[in-house]
Amino acid sequence: MIVALAAAASALVLGALAVASLWPRQRSLINDWVLLLAWGMGVGLGGTSILFFFNSLVFADPSIPSAIQETICTTGLSLFLWRRRRSKPLSNDYVISGFSWAVLCSATLAFQAILVGALVVFRSYALESHGGWDGWAIWTMHARFFFRAREHWPELLTYSTLAWTHTDYPLLVSASVARVWSFAGEESSSGAALISILFGVSTLALLMVSIGKLKGALIACMGGALLIGTPTFLSVTPIQCADIPLGLYVLSTIAGMAYCDRYPDSRGMPILTGLCAGEAAWTKNEGILFALIATVVWLAVSWVSGSRRSSLYWLVGLSLAMIPVAIFKVGLAPANDIVSGGTWHQLGNLMNPQRHVLILSAFRRDVLSFGSWSVVPYMAMALPLVVGRGRLGSQQWTPIAVILLLAAGYYAVYLLTPWDLQWHLDSSLVRLLLHIWPATIFVWCLIISTPVEAMSPTIRPAKSQRTRLISFALVNASLALGFFWSVNQQLARDELGAGYVKGKRISVLLDQGWYGQETHGKRVWSWSRGNATLVVNVPGKTPVSVNLKFGAVSVVPRKLRLVLSGRVLLSTQVESTLQPISVENINLEPGLNTIELQTDLPPVKSPRTNDEREFGFALHSMKVN
Amino acid sequence: MKRLRDTSFRQLAWYLSLLIVAAVSALNISGSLERSIPSPSGLIKPPLEAVAEVDERFAELRKDLSIIHPPDVIGYIGDPTVAASKTTSEVQEYYQAQFAMIPVVLDQNFEAYNWAVANLRKGKLDQQLLMDWEIHTRYENSVLLLKRKAPR
């Protein structure tokens, strides 16, 4: 894992140096270092994956040449920056000079959101450490192509029996994972998850820091809270798919456009922005469509505004990342299943009203639900726009045009798809919307017209600032403590109940003979298949005495006995209505204690439902004290 | 004075609108936390993920077949009981086995090859198959390497 972290850190340093080299000269590198790191992660992973890809075509073990090339690039960029730093003193155009209460409140929300987000991502990872279905079946599979078949990996792309793993998909994510494995000398699910999570973290960091520089900390924290407040973003982040990485490159491109607009004389920014668009194409096939749209819009805007030089710089950056895409697509990959499946024969579908209705209804459904929100945020997001009466300038129109055209492009692909349309929509639309969501939040942040004081807080006396920061620290520490306490109360998978006895967390888990944990709100229960067992986990080295309180119910009246190590703890009659049961003073040894639950009747089907399963009894909401 | 009042009112409305955005975000974040399930802690080991379990089952066979380099194709024989259940799990088992066995490519059309892998999670090998195939190596967890008796 240490080598994997070092490999990721090396990509981060290289990326940050590359971004710094292209950064507008009017801005201070020192003041912008967080933004450079946030931007650099994506650029670095993209760049190192390209180096690894080329080396893997030539060398059996691409890790050594990749490491050498990365070191040369890092050294070269460092020298370049060192010389540039000495040649011209730099200054920043915007500095946060104070903290208003509004900023501190929003920062508190963002800080607590980051804590929750980190926990949710960790839990998702613990649940599926090898990634989701697409994660292992496509992206990690292709990483295994690189790592296991070594220089022969392109041959694997030619086998039609492997077509189900979409061998035509671009390789940024897979090559990044294989690079980490190659450096470490072994495969690990944690290496793949690390790359996956880094893309999610970079997305959040880039959104917040870039908005912070453009619109101030208050709006940046709001944007961050909106992104973390998208449960799908958190659950998809660790599952080792390419959707979050593509979302990062879409965001990087859109953010780059905003910075290009702010620094029209910069030669580096259009190169960086074009490079990010190209890296989107190197991430997923949908990224190729994005790169095409972004390039067309950029060229059109540059043409209209008369800055043709920036078009050239954009194309330079774009082509750097498009070279591997072209080599892979033209020379190595099989044809894409949608394109080769007769898309052009489907042109008649453009005028098929049924397909339009189907696509529009799926868009309506998924636009409202793709985030798995408890409360859909669009109405709330509209309020500051209405109140602020902001006007859209070219800085906002260009990214809006790109996002709308990308959505229109996805719409057209659905119209022309040779696959079953409903299946195609159901299996992909949510992920496509996730690609554009971080960039959409970025644009939302840009559009809000902020009162001046929110943008640049009034400079207060130092003492007042200190008081505010101390209050901020205290409030956040208290909230974090409360958060960890409440998280500790949550029941784990297959836990029926838990509680603290003498400072130890005693948990009761479903063992044999259960249909699994069911929940509704805070209620937790499980039905048995007949006789069943529970396991009580006692941490530490000393025995404890506990009381168990729970509800029990059965489809038909039956006897229930609880037995621990041959000793009967309880014998009772369970009825068809929920009844409270209490078992006191159970002496438990440290470690795992198995409680047998024995019943006198076989399981039966429920006459009240169509459920085909046969039920014994159910235990509800167990309390341990 | 009126203008000043208007400005203050607009500013207040603006802050209120952001407060609503913050509240909605907070609700969504808390919903996200409620829905996320912690893993059991302490001595309880979470069940192995399906992919990891298949990786483990095929580890020995893959080690033996690592001499196949560059990649080559061998046959794949799925579990007849899984196939008979007419669920998608037969396809899933094949995909997972392929994931575990890369760079060896597995082809479900096993008749075309001299070597085949049998992935028998629940059932037994079809006796008719043994007319043409012999068990070359029997691995743990019902994974077999088969060799055609009369090579093609």
Predicted confidence at residue B24, as pLDDT, reads 96
Which of A120, A164, A509 is opposite residue B36, by nearest beta carbon?
A120
Residue type, A179: R
Residues on chain B touching A377 (C-beta within 8 angstroms): 21, 24-25, 28
Does this complex have an ipTM over 0.85? yes
Residues on chain B touching A148 (C-beta within 8 angstroms): 102-103
**φ and ψ of A488, to 5 deg:** -65, -25
Whether A368 has its CB under 8 Å from any CB of chain B: the answer is no
The Cα of A351 is separated from the nearest Cα of chain B by a number of Å equal to 35
Verify whether the Cβ–Cβ distance B44 to A162 is below 8 Å: no
What chain A residue is nearest to B16 in terms of C-alpha separation? A384
Mind listing the pLDDT tens digit for each residue in A288-337?
Answer: 999 999 999 999 998 888 888 889 999 999 999 999 999 999 989 888 76
Whether A459 has its CB under 8 Å from any CB of chain B: the answer is no
Verify whether the Cβ–Cβ distance B102 to A375 is below 8 Å: no
Q: At what angle do helices A285-305 and A394-416 cross, to 10 degrees?
A: 140
Going by C-alpha positions, the residue among A487, A527, A479, A521 that lies closest to residue A505 is A487
Residue A199 near residue A43 (C-beta atoms within 8 A): no
Going by C-alpha positions, the residue among A81, A350, A132, A103 that lies closest to residue A237 is A132
Predicted confidence at residue A92, as pLDDT, reads 46
Verify whether the Cβ–Cβ distance A381 to B21 is below 8 Å: yes
Verify whether the Cβ–Cβ distance A136 to B99 is below 8 Å: yes
Could you say which DSSP state residue A514 is in? B
What chain A residue is nearest to B68 in terms of C-alpha separation? A149
Predicted confidence at residue B124, as pLDDT, reads 75
Q: How many CB atoms lie within 10 A of CB B19?
A: 15
Residues on chain A touching B31 (C-beta within 8 angstroms): 231, 373-375
Residues on chain B touching A507 (C-beta within 8 angstroms): 40-42, 44
Whether A220 has its CB under 8 Å from any CB of chain B: the answer is no
Predicted confidence at residue A93, as pLDDT, reads 45
Residue A514 tokens read as: 């259960």
Verify whether the Cβ–Cβ distance A155 to B71 is below 8 Å: yes
Mind listing the pLDDT tens digit for each residue in B41-72?
Answer: 655 566 667 888 889 899 999 888 877 666 78
The Cα of A180 is separated from the nearest Cα of chain B by a number of Å equal to 18
Residues on chain B touching A380 (C-beta within 8 angstroms): 17, 20-21, 23-24
Which of A130, A234, A492 is opposite residue B32, by nearest beta carbon?
A234
Verify whether the Cβ–Cβ distance B18 to A106 is below 8 Å: yes
Helix (H) or strand (E) holding A60: none
What are the residues facing A560 on neighbouring strands? A572, A599
Which of A112, A130, A377 is opposite residue B24, by nearest beta carbon?
A377
Verify whether the Cβ–Cβ distance B103 to A148 is below 8 Å: yes
Residues on chain B touching A505 (C-beta within 8 angstroms): 41
Predicted confidence at residue A99, as pLDDT, reads 67
Distance, CA of A452 to CA of A94 (rounded, Å): 13
Q: In A150-242, which residue ranges form alpha helices assigned H by DSSP? A: 153-156, 172-184, 189-215, 217-228, 231-236
What residues contact residue B88 under an 8 Å CB cut-off, 6+ apart?
none
Mind listing the pLDDT tens digit for each residue in B70-111?
Answer: 678 999 988 766 555 555 577 888 999 999 999 999 998 888
Residue A12 tokens read as: 């981060």
Whether A455 has its CB under 8 Å from any CB of chain B: the answer is no
**φ and ψ of A183, to 5 deg:** -65, -40
A and B: number of Cβ contacts within 8 A: 190
Positions of chain A with pLDDT lower than 70, given as ranges:
85-99, 337-345, 389-391, 394, 451-463
Residue A390 tokens read as: 């902001």
Predicted confidence at residue A309, as pLDDT, reads 87
Residue A101 tokens read as: 């209460």
Predicted confidence at residue A62, as pLDDT, reads 93
Distance, CA of B27 to CA of B32 (rounded, Å): 9
Q: At what angle do helices A63-87 and A33-58 cross, to 10 degrees?
A: 140
Whether A493 has its CB under 8 Å from any CB of chain B: the answer is yes
Optimal mutation site among B14, B27, B32, interface A, most CBs of chain A within 10 A: B32
Predicted confidence at residue B88, as pLDDT, reads 57
Which of A123, A451, A537 is opposite residue B36, by nearest beta carbon?
A123
